[in-house]
Amino acid sequence: MNAGTLAARAVILVGRPQFLTRERARRLVERAGGRLVSLRDFGGRDAGGALAVFGTRGTAALIRDGTLAQTLQRYRASGAEPVSEIALLRAVGVMEPLRADAQARAFSSDDVARSARIAEQDVESLTIAGAIEPVDGRFTFADLRAARTVASWLADGVPLHELAGHVATARRTGTVLDAGAGVPDLDPSGQASLDLAADAPNLHDAIARAEEADAHDLPRESVRWWQIAATAAPRDATLRFNLGCALLQAGSPREAELQFERAAHLDPGMADAWFNAAHAARVQARADRALLHLDRAIDADPRWAEPLIQRMRTAVDAEAWEVLAQLLTRLETLTLNDAEATFAKQTRQLLHLVTGRSES
C-alpha cells in the first residue's frame, strides 16, 4: 500500500501504534484523502472498503496473546483490509513508497516460510507487524533475510511478539538486521518483556494500566504507569508524548514540557509534541519558550494549521504586524476548515485596519 491509496477510504486504528500519536494519524490520513474513524463506528457493522491499520505495538500484544489470527479474520470478514502501521506510514508519505524491483527475485509467503523455517502464521504475523512487506503479494530478498534473522532469534528463545516490534523499528529506521550479531537488546525498542512490578509483568500491561487511569481521570496514577512504560522503552517517542500529556493533566507543566521535547527529538516529525510543549511553556508563563516551540511545530509539519493560528494569536498580542502578515501568507496556502477560514478572514481584516494593508 503506497501513497494515493487512501482516497475516500475509512481508516481504523487497531491496537496501539508505535510511531504515531492518534492526532498525527488523523491529520496525515485526512491529507491523503481518507478519514480516521473509531473502532466504535464499525462495531458489528460492515466495514467494506475500510483499512484496518494494526498498530505495531498493538500487533505485538495480539501475537503475544495468540489472538492475532482471529482478529485478522474478524476484520476481513467485515470487508476491511488489514494492513500494518508501516504500510500506513508509506501511504501518508512519512516513509518512502515501497516499489517492486523488477530485477530482483520475488518470493511467495510459502517461499519465505520454507526458507526461514518458520510457520506461515509467523510470516503473516511479521507482515501485519510491518517487519516484512510484500509488494503485490510477493516478498523481496530483504524480507527473506529479515525472516531468517527472526528465525535465528526465535531459535535462541526470544518470543515472536518481542521480535516483531523490534524488526518493525529496524525497518522504520533503515537498520540492517544481523543474525550473526546475536540476540539484540530489546529494551530500547520497547518490546522486551520486563518485570516492572509485582502486579505489572510486562510493558503491554503498564500501557494498558496507564490508559485505564486516563479513562478514569486519575492523572497521578496515569503518570506513574506512563513513567514505567517510558523507562522500559526510552526511545519510544509516543510513550514520551503520552507521559507529557499525563504530566500536564497532573499539574506538572515543567516536567511535561521536558517529555514533549524528548518525544520531538526522538521523532522530528512529531509536530504534536512541539505544539504541546508550547502549551506547557505558556502555562508556566514562559512566553519565549512557547514561541520557540510553536515555531518548531510549524517547521515539523508546515501543513498543520493549528500551530500557525496559535502563533498568529501571539503576534496579534505583541502587535507584531509584519510577523502576522508573513504567517497569514503561510496560512492562506493551506486547506482550512470553516473555523480556520473564518479566523484567516478576520485576521486579514484586522491587519488591513491596523496597517492599511490589504492582504489577498
Work out the average pLDDT over 144-157. 89
Q: Tell which wins on pLDDT, 185 or 333.
A: 333
**Residue 168 near residue 18 (C-beta atoms within 8 A):** yes
Query: Cell triple for residue 83?
Result: 494492513
Rounded distance, CA 107 to CA 129, Å?
Answer: 19
Give the model's pLDDT for residue 3.
Answer: 47
Give the model's pLDDT for residue 274.
Answer: 96
Query: Cell triple for residue 331?
Result: 496560512
Neighbours of 78 (CB within 10 A): 17
Give the model's pLDDT for residue 4.
Answer: 52
Q: Tell which wins on pLDDT, 358 or 247.
A: 247
pLDDT at 360 over 70: no
Q: For residue 135, what are the β-bridge partners? A: 138
Q: Which tens digits make up the pLDDT trace of 265-324?
A: 988 889 999 999 999 999 999 999 999 999 999 999 998 999 999 999 999 999 999 999
Rounded distance, CA 126 to CA 352, Å?
Answer: 58
Rounded distance, CA 111 to CA 144, Å?
Answer: 8
Q: Which tens digits make up the pLDDT trace of 204-214?
A: 778 878 888 88
Burial class of 127 by CB neighbour count within 10 A (0 to 12, 13 to 18, 19+) = buried
Q: Tell which wins on pLDDT, 80 or 195.
A: 80
Closest CA to 271 of 315, 248, 305, 246: 305
φ, ψ at 58 (rounded to 5°): -65, -35
**Residue 190 near residue 18 (C-beta atoms within 8 A):** yes
Rounded distance, CA 353 to CA 278, Å?
Answer: 29
What pLDDT band is residue 176 in, cutting at 50, 70 and 90?
low
pLDDT at 101 over 90: no
Neighbours of 214 (CB within 10 A): 18
Helix (H) or strand (E) holding 180: none
Q: Rounded to two decimals, what is the model's pTM?
A: 0.75
Share the mean pLDDT of the chain.
84
Give the model's pLDDT for residue 357.
Answer: 57
Q: Give the residue carrying C-alpha cell 517461499.
A: 111
Q: Which tens digits make up the pLDDT trace of 221-231?
A: 999 999 988 88
Q: Which tens digits make up the pLDDT trace of 62-96?
A: 998 899 999 999 999 988 999 999 999 999 888 88
Query: Cell triple for residue 144?
Result: 527473506
User: Minimum mean pLDDT among 114-123, 206-215, 342-351: which range?
Assistant: 206-215
Query: How is the beta sheet containing 51-54 ordered, strand by strand?
Result: 35-37, 10-14, 51-54, 81-84
Closest CA to 189 of 222, 224, 163, 156: 163
Rounded distance, CA 214 to CA 207, Å?
Answer: 11
pLDDT at 21 over 70: yes
Give the model's pLDDT for residue 183.
Answer: 57
Rounded distance, CA 240 to CA 301, Å?
Answer: 19
Helix (H) or strand (E) holding 266: helix 253-266
Rounded distance, CA 230 to CA 203, Å?
Answer: 9
DSSP of 181-235, one letter per residue? G-S---GGGT-S----BTTB-SHHHHHHHHHHHHHTT-HHHHHHHHHHHHHHSTT
Q: For residue 311, what are the β-bridge partners? A: none
What pLDDT band is residue 43 in, cutting at 50, 70 and 90?
low
Give the model's pLDDT for residue 212.
Answer: 86
Q: Which tens digits make up the pLDDT trace of 248-265?
A: 999 999 999 999 999 999
pLDDT at 201 over 80: no
